[in-house]
Structure 1
């Protein structure tokens, strides 16, 4: 099917559906809605795994069917694979898989032989997504290939934490070492800034005999900028779509998921990303978080998400390509049109950007590389041609969501008062 988008023509194979795959309970996920719209507007039949029938994704006019399948992330892999295969049989034809979380991306990579034929997905090396999603695995890969990243330690016992506390320069940041720990019993919730050795030792007493944490160098926000890279790489690790931008606001402030971001060209960062991907041999969609450290003038890799990011619709090329469209075109044997990214575009997540804006104005923090005004705005939820997901989001968000935002804000204020720092959640 040929679909004209902003003066460009995108040729999509609408005989091959797409399936949004998620593991866990996070119904208010705008990335899934964005993917449904992105391919649905090209005439691609779209399906999605949803927690229930009243999620924003299930309300999209571009969704052919929602498969209600509540999961927690604690299920056995065999159970999850069989559930996916059941959905595949009900769709009845080969379908492109679009994972929205690390668990789903790792599951698909590690069980590719069982899923092949029923589904289409990039032929990534079996163990690579799990290693990239792990903080320790990513740090080791960065060190191996000379990619800048924050200094980090991986203590294996309380005694090693005591040794670290005696020599470390504070503040430091504590994160869960493995990506999936939040499903079980995480040592820390999100990203926790720790002001000094006393606080570290007090927290570490609750981490057990084998603390599953990474203790990382703190990059002060006053001396740093958050950059994001979204891209799609083919089976030869060649970038068919590459985009760069800056995160202007997040929620919780300075440490959470993107609330507002702008497209900003950064060829050096794009080249660094492409080289790293080529070295490790990854293929598929990536969502990378980099932090530019003004103190030494280097971009340091913080996170590598081996799947689409929730804010991927920030980025689109002059030929109408985003990373989700690039993957579908490539896996169905279609050419991905080349084109520069649309500079100056802005992405806003309506339900979290308002409190984030208020918090950032109070702090006085700004992002120097953000353009003074947007050249077009992409909203996460509201769309003229697909408005139901926006109202469904509001219905689910307003009461419990407002309470959750207030609780996060109070926790952040309390943490700041005690010097224990910033926490981050989200995708």
Structure 2
């Protein structure tokens, strides 16, 4: 049997992939650079590897993967669970495909869809609505922002992983020209390319996702749509409380687009519904398994297993679309509590609204009654961080004597 090599298991996305495959008896291999990867504590994890750091030792990391695959009787299926892994795979796709089973066959396509500026151009060329955008180098920049974009607006990176690594946030929101100048200067000093976009009106529950698997013929075979309720950081963050909700229009927009560009494998398109016009705008495309994987699984779409079956040449999982509302929600409890705090503090939600939203069947980010160890490991890691934060700094006894 082909093994499944999962990259990035120190987060619940990797954990979810391990569970989705392990429940079908597939040999799962958790790869990370640290021994603290709580996803590898799952009872469904067959093997765990400590590899070179994927950012600090890129060449060694790729060579490590290749050497591991060479020792296997059959080529493993390679599943990245973070954008940085995707970028690295895309840069080495031709070589890695000699040793691993990977859905995408066109080098560079992952990167083009991840790059916000190139995605914008690609979407426009296919007639997809995207937020109005200007670039820092445009002539009459501030006049364009005043007339087309308007304040508040967002300064958004073209390369999200690099931006998040520096600023620990996905973008800058600016409210006036002075803040815009400051944001552009911060990006320039960090040597990061950015674009300036209009904010599509609407609360966070106007955010929707189209989650889809496209087979090796680049045809959409399995899909489900979801609606965000809360995200963290609020307004421009990741899903922490999101429900499955059937919206046919998202398929009608998203599937033809991905098929036209020749996409293969899993993708998630994020859309925002304009609160004033009702039109859906493409915000970004995720080209790897996402936060919502456990929700998709609970809704009847097991993306990692679908991927594994097709790539290993087994009988494919029959096509399926979730065209009813299951009322189930994905819930990442810890970050949702942080989000709720901020929503209430900014008066975007009330306690009553939050409490009323909680009475739905859940797809938990980490907890699973049948596989509790990852949750205990995560709690221990979290507790350790809290203790270190509040532990008093150690003092030098010699300094104390000198002071006395």
TM-score normalised by the shorter chain: which range applies? 0.7 to 0.9
Query: What secondary structure does 1:205 align onto?
Result: helix
Q: Quick one: distance in 2 between partners of 1:75 and 1:204?
A: 30
Question: Which stretch of the first structure deviates more once superposed, 199-208 or 253-262?
Answer: 199-208
Identify which of 61, 68, 78 aligns with 1:87.
68
* CA displacement at 1:343 relative to structure 2: 2.1
The answer to whether the aligner puts 1:325 opposite 2:310 as a matched pair is no
Please say if 1:65 is aligned against 2:50.
no
1:100 maps to which residue? 81
- Picking from 224, 233, 236, the partner of 1:252 is 233
Q: Which residue of 2 aligns with 1:420?
A: none
Q: Once the 2 structures are TM-superposed, how far is the Cα of residue 376 of structure 1 from its aligned partner?
A: 2.8
The answer to whether the 8 A contact 2:151-2:175 is kept is yes
Q: Is contact 1:74–1:183 with CA below 8 Å preserved after alignment? A: no
Match of 2:367 in 1: 382
Q: Distance in 2 between matches of 1:365 and 1:67?
A: 43
Tell me the equivalent position of 1:34: 16
Distance 2:14 2:158 in 1: 26
1:46 aligned to 28, 32, 40, which one? 28
Structure 2 residue runs of 5 or longer lacking an equivalent are: 390-404
Q: Secondary structure at the match of 2:160?
A: coil
Mark the CA change 1:398 to 1:279 in structure 2 (over 3 Å): closer, same or farther: same
Shift of 1:90: 4.5
2:3 pairs with 17, 23, 34, which one?
17
Once the two structures are TM-superposed, the CA of residue 312 in structure 1 deviates from its matched residue by 1.3
TM-score, reference length from structure 2: 0.85
Contact 2:10 2:36 in 1 (8 A): no
Asked if the contact 1:72–1:183 (Cα under 8 Å) also holds between the matched residues in 2, the reply is no
State the distance in 2 between where 1:322 and 1:201 align.
Answer: 45
1:259 aligned counterpart, secondary structure = strand
Greater alpha carbon shift after TM alignment, 36-45 vs 332-341:
332-341
The residue aligned with 2:136 is 155
Q: 3-state SS of the aligned residue for 1:383?
A: coil
Higher relative contact order (CA 8 A, sep 6+): 1
- Looking at structure 2, the residues matched to 243 and 402 of structure 1 have their Cα atoms a distance apart, in angstroms, of 41
- C-alpha distance in 2 between matches for 1:138 and 1:256: 19
Q: Aligned residues, how many?
A: 379
Which one has the largest radius of gyration?
2
With 216-225 and 280-289 compared, the bigger mean Cα shift is at 216-225
Q: In 2, are the aligned partners of 1:155 and 1:213 still within 8 Å (CA)?
A: yes
| C-alpha distance in 2 between matches for 1:156 and 1:381 | 44
User: In the aligned structure 2, how far is the partner of 1:372 from the partner of 1:351?
Assistant: 16
Deviation at 1:180, TM superposition (A): 3.7
RMSD of the alignment, in Å? 2.8
Provide the C-alpha distance between the structure 2 equivalents of 1:315 and 1:239, rounded to a whole number of angstroms: 15
State which of 382, 390, 394 in structure 2 corresponds to 1:397.
382
Aligned to 1:240, what secondary structure does the other structure show? strand
C-alpha displacement of 1:323: 1.5
Instruction: Identify the residue that residue 127 of structure 2 maps to in structure 1.
Output: 146
Q: Structure 1: any 5+ residue segments left out of the alignment? A: 1-14, 405-427
Q: TM-score, normalised by structure 1?
A: 0.81
* Structure with the bigger percentage of helix: 2
Deviation at 1:89, TM superposition (A): 3.1
